[in-house]
Amino acid sequence: MSLPINEIEKMIKESIPDAKIEIKDLMGDNNHYSAKIKSKLFNNLSKIEQHKLVYKSLKGKMGNELHALSITTEEE
C-alpha cells in the first residue's frame, strides 16, 4: 500500500496550515518521497523539533503506508 502525494500534502496542511510544501516522488513508485516544507511554525525550533512536527502530522503513516520520506524544513 502506498500514500499519494496529495494525501501527504493534505495531512501536513491539517497540522501546519501555513506550510508551503514541495513533494517529489523519488523512485516513481508512490512510496519514496522527498519533501521540502516551509512554515512560520518552524521559527525558533530545532531541526529535530521541526521534523517531529512533520512526522506527527503524518499520523503514524510513516513506515506503514508511507515507506520513505526525506524531509527538509525551513523557517519562514
Task: Inform me whether the pLDDT recorded for 60 exceeds 90.
Answer: no
| pLDDT of residue 66 exceeding 70 | yes
Higher pLDDT, 67 or 34: 34
Residue with cell 511554525: 41
Number of domains comprising the chain? 1
Note the pLDDT tens digit of each residue in 9-45: 999 999 999 999 999 999 988 888 999 999 999 999 9
The helix (run of H) or strand (run of E) holding residue 49 is helix 47-57
- The three state secondary structure string of 4-47 is CHHHHHHHHHHHCCCCEEEEEECCCCCCEEEEEEEEHHHCCCCH
Q: Domain range holding 38?
A: 5-75
The CATH code of the domain that includes 16 is 3.30.300.90
